[in-house]
Structure 1
Amino acid sequence: MLGASEMTVYRAIQAGEFPALRIRGRIVVPAKALEAMTEAAVAGHRTVDVAEWTLAAAEEVAGGRG
């Protein structure tokens, strides 16, 4: 679906460069995260650097808590 090898995605998740959750030993990428990345790419008419997108999304969530 992402056009990348499984190992590449696993490494990006491990490095904190790709959004994912660990649920009972399974690694799950939320569908909403994929949809949001797709919308960002389409709206900006460009590719999305997932590492930057993940960091910005995390900062937005953290900012909303305080």
Structure 2
Amino acid sequence: MTSAGAGPDRPAPVFYNVAEAADLLRLDQSTLYRHLRSGRFPAVKIGGRYVVPRVVLERLITDVLAVGTCLDIADWAERSGFAGGAA
């Protein structure tokens, strides 16, 4: 997965902030925040700040390609063991 800040000398980060994750997912930040706050999208909350583990995004991509159809994020998170919004 390629991301802002990653390059030949810098590996992809282990965690993405909301702005970075929303950009990678091509979502508005407010949309991602809604899913994070409701627990429908896996993340880690540290104080009042959310971060999304890179592994969550990588697994989402792998699973959607394997299924070949649209995934509901809340159902996927529960089936993948990411239920409750914590990775």
Into which bin does the TM-score normalised by the smaller protein fall? 0.7 to 0.9
Amino acid at match of 1:52: D
More contact order relative to length (CA 8 Å, sep ≥ 6): 2
Residue in structure 2 matched with residue 63 of structure 1 by the alignment: none
1:16 to 27, 39, 60: 39
2:9 corresponding residue in structure 1 = none
- C-alpha distance in 1, partners of 2:82/2:32? 22
Distance 1:4 1:59 in 2: 20
* TM-score for both structures, normalised by structure 2: 0.60
Point out 4+ residue stretches in structure 1 off by more than 6 angstroms: none
Greater helix share, structure number: 1
RMSD over aligned Cα atoms: 1.9
1:31 aligns with 2:49: no
**Which segments of 5 or more consecutive residues in structure 1 lack a partner in the other structure?**
61-66
> Tell me, which stretches of 5 or more residues in structure 2 are unaligned?
1-23
What one-letter code is carried by the residue in structure 2 that aligns with 1:46?
Answer: T
TM-score for the superposition, normalised by structure 1: 0.77
Q: Distance in 2 between matches of 1:6 and 1:49?
A: 18
